[in-house]
Amino acid sequence: MGVPIAIFVVCLIAGVFASTRWLPELGRSRVGGVALLVVCGLFGASLADAGLRIYLIVRDIEIRPFLGRSFAGPEVASGLAAMLFEAGSLAALAMIVYMFAPAAEPVVDSGSD
């Protein structure tokens, strides 16, 4: 029971860290701050969902042997389809929120040295 929880937490933290580090800065206002929190949370949840789905697919493959009729091909395919739909939907929603969030004001250099 502890392995899926650990995978979820690690992937969530990695997703939040990656989105705060590499996404361009949003506006410094209440709306921009809330949008940043929502985008980071949704992207982290997307990565956490993908990590859990990969864990479940690998666990399903380990349980079933590859010999005979017990090959887990359809289960792997349905697991990948579910992962792409769920994680992709969360990532798309995060990008939609990011695109509608206010952008940061460009820094204008006054030229005074």
For the entire predicted model, the pTM comes to 0.78
What's the confidence (pLDDT) of residue 45?
Answer: 93
Q: DSSP labels for 10-37? A: HHHHHHHHHHHHHSPPBPSSHHHHHHHH
Chain segment 8-45, per-residue pLDDT in tens: 999 989 988 888 888 777 767 788 888 888 998 999 99
- CA torsion through residues 82, 86, 89, 94, sign: negative
Return d(Cα 63, Cα 83) in angstroms, integer.
20
For the chain, what is the mean pLDDT? Answer: 83
Query: Tell me, what amino acid is at 8?
Result: F
How far the first Cα of the chain sits from its last, in Å, is: 61
What's the confidence (pLDDT) of residue 52?
Answer: 92
What's the confidence (pLDDT) of residue 28?
Answer: 76
Chain segment 53-96, per-residue pLDDT in tens: 999 888 877 766 655 555 667 778 888 899 999 999 999 999 99
Return d(Cα 73, Cα 79) in angstroms, integer.
10
Return d(Cα 36, Cα 30) in angstroms, integer.
10
Domain ranges of the chain: 2-100
